Structure 1
Amino acid sequence: MGDGKTTITDVAVETFIEDVEPPAKREDARVLDALFRKVTGATPRMWGPTIIGYGEYSTTYDSGRRVHSLRIGFSPRKAKHSLYLSAGCAAPEDEARRAEALGRLGKFSQGASCIYVNKLADIDLGVLEEMIADGWAVSLRDLP
């Protein structure tokens, strides 16, 4: 997510969503976009060819590595939706809250920096809303 290669593009989010295949993923993408907009109050932007991001941040780590990335977002992929719900390093209490929410979310898998969901019918959207709000709130707090 936003590793320096993934940058903001001029593609309209709505245009991208209209081209998402299959149609069921497109409908899920519309639901996700509405939910992310509702929770964050942010207007989304495309990051690279497939990531819809809400908010952004820039930071320089102690190593000197500079990062400009989205705060949170998602990518509606054919196989599974990728949900990017946190930017930066979370405190232990944040991780505990996230783990508890994941226990209530439903059917998903997890990668290094995202959550993978096959279809929205597999998860509790109320829990996802909580997770989006939490990720948005803590996304900038712990960055160097």
Structure 2
Amino acid sequence: MAEPKTVRTEQGVDEFLAAVADPKRRDDAVAALALIRDATGAEPTMWGTAIVGFGVYHYRYATGTEGDWPAVGLSPRKQALTLYISAGFDAYPGLLERLGPHRTGKSCLYLKRLADVDQEVLRELVKAGYEHLNGKTVISERV
């Protein structure tokens, strides 16, 4: 069985964020880091080369593939500030409606500007997603 490509690393979170080229994206990432740290009570760690993660959960697929992944994470991507809410968004439609301008993927929340969204709603969403998965094992039928 292949090892997961994205795993927890010893890379420094502050150094990673300081190296973000776009100053607005960097400022948003630093502010999001503080918001997530406050909402979760967890300290950030690097996952791979570009994801700042908070907490961890273990996943296991029907294929036998398994690994660890952050319960919540963020990455200052070129196109958007990306927040990873590993629990997904199905349980939080009311929060998404109140959040402000955003796009979502299965478990990704894409924000153009952090200041454009409701910070308290974002904090609620992050906290709910974190509490849903942190420290748990998820067994999926996914193949």
Structures share fold, TM-score greater than 0.5: yes
1:84-141 Cα offsets, whole Å, 9 max, x none, are 1124xx7xxx724x11110001001112220110111221111000001100111256
Of all paired residues, the percent bearing the same amino acid is: 38
Query: In 1, are the aligned partners of 2:58 and 2:138 still within 8 Å (CA)?
Result: no
Q: For residue 21 of structure 1, report the CA deviation from its aligned partner.
A: 2.1
Query: In 2, are the aligned partners of 1:81 and 1:117 still within 8 Å (CA)?
Result: yes
Measured in 2, the distance between the counterparts of 1:115 and 1:109 equals 6
Measured in 1, the distance between the counterparts of 2:21 and 2:121 equals 26
- Structure 1 segment 110-125 matched on structure 2, within 5 A: 110-125=104-119
Q: For residue 59 of structure 1, report the CA deviation from its aligned partner.
A: 3.1
Query: In 2, are the aligned partners of 1:86 and 1:138 still within 8 Å (CA)?
Result: no
Task: Report the residue type matching 1:143 in the other structure.
Answer: V
1:129 counterpart (117, 120, 123): 123
Which 5+ residue runs of structure 2 have no aligned equivalent? Answer: none
Measured in 1, the distance between the counterparts of 2:60 and 2:77 equals 30
RMSD: 1.9
- Structure 1 segment 1-144 matched on structure 2, within 5 A: 4-87=4-87, 95-96=90-91, 98-140=92-134, 143-144=138-139
Measured in 1, the distance between the counterparts of 2:137 and 2:95 equals 20
Measured in 2, the distance between the counterparts of 1:50 and 1:126 equals 25
Measured in 1, the distance between the counterparts of 2:94 and 2:85 equals 15
Q: For residue 143 of structure 1, report the CA deviation from its aligned partner.
A: 1.8
Q: For residue 142 of structure 1, report the CA deviation from its aligned partner.
A: 7.4
Task: Report the residue type matching 1:65 in the other structure.
Answer: T
Residues matched between the structures, number: 136
Task: Report the residue type matching 2:31 in the other structure.
Answer: V
Query: In 2, are the aligned partners of 1:21 and 1:78 still within 8 Å (CA)?
Result: no
Measured in 1, the distance between the counterparts of 2:62 and 2:106 equals 21
